[in-house]
A and B are shown apart, each in its own frame.
Chain A
Amino acid sequence: MKQFKRGIERDGSGFVVLMAEEAEDMWHIYNLIRVGDVIKASTIRKVVSETSTGTTSSQRVHTMLTVSVESIDFDPGAQELHLKGRNIEENDIVKLGAYHTIDLEPNRKFTLQKTEWDSIDLERLNLSLDPAQAADVAAVVLHEGLANVCLITPAMTLTRAKIDMTIPRKRKGFTSQHEKGLEKFYEAVCVAFMRHVNLQVVKCVIIASRGFVKDAFMQHLIAYADANGKKFTTDQKAKFMLTHSSSGFKHALKEVLETPQVAARLADTKAQGEVKALNQFLELMSTEPDRAFYGYNHVSRANQELAIETLLVADSLFRAQDIETRRKYVKLVESVREQNGKVHIFSSMHVSGEQLAQLTGCAAILRFPMPDLDDEPMSDDE
């Protein structure tokens, strides 16, 4: 992300001028913008003009609009953000108060104005401006008949292709069917891989499966690249890493990121840190359940006792539509930080984040056991 100007006042209100450069940035912007913010960007408006005789003609006009956002829609596949809202600045073409939807894309400059930039927002903004964060990892998880080709960026896991095929099982005397099916399947995965993974860009490629599928796939991939005149260089070959996963479903990625050899290669990606923290939480849940709690009620009670060592929060909570919910969680995060607690904000686009979001989105590892918390009922929405 590129920042052109920042004008944030002491009281937290202010604006920034930004330009997204890649998909990852769009995700950050999506997390920054909330209902009620003001966005100013160049956009296209269809203008209908009526002549004196009554015939109408419509034109598409480029113009600069300022809207107060009412709804936000993020399309991770197309990397687009659709912001619908009312025009709040007089314009030659668009009346005051008229609705317009601004589409934000990478490489479009825009101004974002907020009445209140809180600590989470600022953290997110600074994070998105940090160029060192960008490093992609490609991963293929597969089992016989199913493969997911994914790109793992610091804040997102994007499924680029999912190949789902039925492979006939082996049958007495008819093993050729099975082998043919498998062959076809590998071919399809190879095609998807070559199309979606740019080996110049990615830092590392993980191929994970159970059994011998990964080795067989690797062989096919090398042969496929050879046959298509895209022979892997030694450099590129060194990027590949074969590891074990129990299945080819997307959630197996979590398992893959846990394995020590992968962990070593991806030491400081955000996805890795999240998986680690969540695992620690889950382990504690079985060994010392009085130190691991989830749900806002339990966690905030623990926070009152200054008991939180690590707080895990899903970023979906900060995108909450009503400001109260957001404020509630921002306060929680700030107060944990004040106590020198660690805070992990999970991206809901990662597998681990998905799981945390299911787990009410809020969990905590405590410094000391609080057995009496267990007796308190969990609230209904948790």
Chain B
Amino acid sequence: MSRHRNIRNINLEDEMDDDYDDYDDYEDEEESERLYSYDRNSLSANYYTYLTDSGRNSPTPPAPPSSNTAPSYYPPVSTAAPTTGPASAVPSSIVRNLTAPSLQQQQKPSKNPNSRPSTPQAGSNLNTPKRTQQVKNLQTEAASPSGSRVSSEVDLSTFRRNQLQNIAKATSVPRKAVKPRAVEKDLINLIVVGHVDAGKSTLMGHLLHDLEVVDTRTIDKFRHEAARNGKASFAYAWVLDETEEERERGVTMDIGRTSFETTNHRIVLLDAPGHKDFISNMITGTSQADAAILVINATTGEFETGFENGGQTKEHALLLRSLGVTQLVVAVNKLDTVDWSMDRFEEIRNNLTVFLTRQAGFSKPKFVPVSGFTGENLVKRMDLRWYDGPCLVELIDSFKAQAPQSDGPLRIGISDVLKVSSNQLVVSGKIESGEVEKDDKVYIMPSVTAATVKECANNDGWEHCFAGDFILLTLQGTFEPESVQAGSVIVRSGPDTLIPAKKFEVRLVVFEIATPIIKGAKSELYSHSLCMPCTFTKLIHTINKSNGEVLKQRPRFLAKGSTAVVEIETEHDVAIEAFTSCRAFGRVTFRSGGNTIAAGIVEKVITPQ
């Protein structure tokens, strides 16, 4: 119940007296809301670029709300300075530095009461009347939360709705300045995909060995054990395939995760399963990735099965693209089995280039011949008559890291729940935007559970984590069993919180499918780490792909290759939101019967009236 108490007992005047910088967030928030507000024109333009050339890194019309010129890294705190008396004396450059919060703490006592923007009466200090208005609203709402409870509509989930409303109404937590890290190698999340038995795990295992992340003793041990089980060739794969079942069956089943460093980057390596049945796990991994290696099996006949006859090569590539991965290297593996034939390499390259650029929309995929088993061209360039390009590690090193993300609202997609007890929870996940630190108060959606961050750390042990990090969080609170699952999202209270919902308007592209999508069709919805059954409840209209015009209102069905806007309903509330609000949580993929049937973006969250 603590979450209610928090909100009900809020005394807004006190709050603002204490924390006036909190207050200045409003302006920013308002600004940002306006920018984020739904704009069909810009979105449709945006969407097409999303499918054709630009990726999640490229600037797009609804740009982050950086009205201030400071690097978007830094919180809006810096702009607060000029409007509030004493603070204006402080050069903004100082405010921006890492001690910003503590500086303001010290200033507080010296503040002239008149200059405090604490009450609406002192609104003359505030530059916009709009803002005053908002404060008034907030005040009345904060004063009578019980009133709003009574007045709200009759619904089975009235309680829950109120809870959410209160969270949304709460003042947003002042953002802290992000401490720049000392290590400045950029982080890249790299995923390795490809058809089953293309040699993904072996390739990566060998690479890790050559980079001396895994020592020779371990490899020797694996080789020994593998040989004993009659699977000598799987020794390198065992580096990443750790569970007993994976080793026994010789198939990667879930994402394997490890990290290493190259000259310019820190790489978090995600080894995806290639088997058709585990594509859901592959999607989870891909949603966290910035770049990808597509591994192709060059053995005669194997490339063709993986590529043409219902193999996973195509599906994986399309998934990569629709999940926002734009940088791709194609590793043509097992070339040792065809005597490093140039013809084979070229044949594969030509076939794939057409597909990857035309259909999937990758701009310039690079190709590299390798052998995962014998280890050629991984870390050292090999002399090959017909290839003198960079080796695999060099190509990995040439990936560009994501620009540091804008300082948006906090969003952490939980990808795994490691430990649950009634008052403590250990989860891992990726921060998609915002930052988090020890002792932060957060909410877990869609279960609306309040929690306090007890510990948080990313791979390198940093305790203040921000967008892009893959982190391990220890949360404290009261947790019902199974209420927090992979696919839940951690947010903060405030107007920019994420309100879970069941109905969404989605703009999608239909993949190659046997049976068309009709109204009422069921499928599984995938977004970040989430997997949830959903139903297509309405087919709103189909769209002309090239110019974005509406082709047909309320079509009877969606055939393969078409683009359309549909309404979907999930079985339970899920934490996803409009693509314009948060890219990572606005991308959705639909699968049915073991095939990916469509991918798209959430245009609008339809909240119940």
Contacts and interface: CB of A to CB of B under 8 A. Distances in A.
A175 B242 contact: yes
A20 B524 CA distance: 38
A374 B277 CA distance: 37
Contacts of B515: 279, 282-283, 285-286
A166 B417 contact: yes
A179 B254 CA distance: 12
Given A170-B246, A170-B254, A171-B418, 4 more contacts: A170-B255, A211-B278, A286-B516, A354-B522
B415 A169 contact: yes
Interface stretch (A42-50, A85-93, A243-251): A243-251
Contact of B244 (A171, A175, A247): A175
B400 interface: no
A289 interface: yes
- Sorted nearest first, the 7 A-B pairs with minimum C-beta distance are A358-B520, A246-B594, A210-B277, A282-B515, A359-B520, A211-B277, A251-B522
A244 B280 CA distance: 15
Contacts of A286: 513-516, 557, 559-560
B215 interface: no
A358 B535 contact: yes
Given A166-B482, A169-B254, A246-B591, A282 B278 contact: no
26 contacts: A166-B417, A168-B417, A168-B419, A169-B254, A169-B415, A169-B486, A170-B242, A170-B255, A171-B257, A171-B416, A172-B256, A211-B277, A212-B249, A244-B277, A247-B531, A249-B524, A250-B533, A282-B516, A283-B515, A289-B557, A289-B559, A354-B522, A355-B520, A358-B519, A360-B519, A377-B554
Interface residues of B, number: 51
A133 interface: no
B245 interface: yes
Contacts of A377: 554
A359 B593 contact: no
Interface string A246-278: 110111000100000000000000000000000
B33 to A, nearest CB: 34
Interface in B402-439: 415-420, 428
A359 B554 contact: no
Contacts of B418: 168, 171, 174, 177
Contacts of B531: 247
A356 interface: yes
A252 to B, nearest CB: 8
Contacts of A246: 277, 591-595
Interface of A: 143, 164-166, 168-175, 177-179, 210-212, 216, 244, 246-247, 249-251, 255, 279, 282-283, 285-286, 289, 293-294, 354-360, 374, 377-378
Given A210-B277, A374-B556, A359 B518 contact: yes
- Chain B facing A: main interface SS: mixed
Nearest to A356: B520
B449 interface: no
Contacts of B556: 289, 293-294, 374, 378
Contacts of A177: 418-419
B333 interface: no
Contacts, number: 114
A143 B140 CA distance: 49
B416 A355 contact: no
B229 interface: no
Contact of A168 (B416, B482, B592): B416
Contact of A285 (B257, B516, B533): B516
Contacts of A289: 516, 556-557, 559
A255 B275 CA distance: 19
Nearest to B472: A171
A179 B242 CA distance: 11
Contacts of B44: none
Contacts of A179: 243-244
Nearest to A284: B515
A41 B485 CA distance: 49
B482 A164 contact: yes
B514 A283 contact: yes
Given A166-B420, A175-B244, A355 B486 contact: no
B132 interface: no
A58 to B, nearest CB: 33
Contacts of B275: 211
Nearest to B426: A168
A343 to B, nearest CB: 20
B242 A282 contact: no
Interface in B237-251: 242-246, 249
A172 B278 contact: no
A179 B245 CA distance: 9
Interface in B4-59: none
Nearest to A380: B554
Most chain B beta-carbon neighbours within 10 Å: one of A169, A212, A357, A358: A169
Nearest to A216: B245
A151 B533 CA distance: 20
A358 B559 contact: no
A9 to B, nearest CB: 40
Nearest to B252: A170
B253 interface: yes
Contacts of B257: 171-172
Nearest to A209: B277
Given A169-B254, A374-B556, A282 B518 contact: yes
B258 interface: yes
A21 to B, nearest CB: 33
Given A246-B594, A289-B557, A357 B520 contact: yes
B305 to A, nearest CB: 19
Most chain A beta-carbon neighbours within 10 Å: one of B254, B485, B535: B254
Nearest to B520: A358
Given A166-B417, A246-B594, A172 B557 contact: no
Interface string B521-533: 1101000000101
A247 to B, nearest CB: 6
B242 A255 contact: no
Contacts of A168: 416-419
Nearest to A298: B556
A356 B535 CA distance: 12
A255 B278 CA distance: 17
Contact of B258 (A172, A247, A283): A172
Nearest to A164: B482
B162 interface: no
Contacts of B535: 358
Contacts of B258: 172
A358 B533 CA distance: 15
B66 interface: no
B115 interface: no
Given A169-B254, A249-B533, A294 B518 contact: yes
A164 B519 CA distance: 28
B299 interface: no
Given A211-B277, A286-B559, A166 B518 contact: no
B72 interface: no
Interface string B484-522: 111000000000000000000000000001111011111
B278 A210 contact: yes
B516 A170 contact: no
Given A169-B415, A358-B537, A285 B278 contact: no
Interface string B264-300: 0000000000010110100000000000000000000
A210 B278 CA distance: 8
Given A166-B486, A359-B519, A378-B554, A172 B537 contact: no
A255 to B, nearest CB: 5
Most chain A beta-carbon neighbours within 10 Å: one of B428, B560, B594: B594
B508 to A, nearest CB: 17
B480 to A, nearest CB: 12
A286 B560 CA distance: 9
Contacts of A212: 245, 249
A143 B419 CA distance: 20
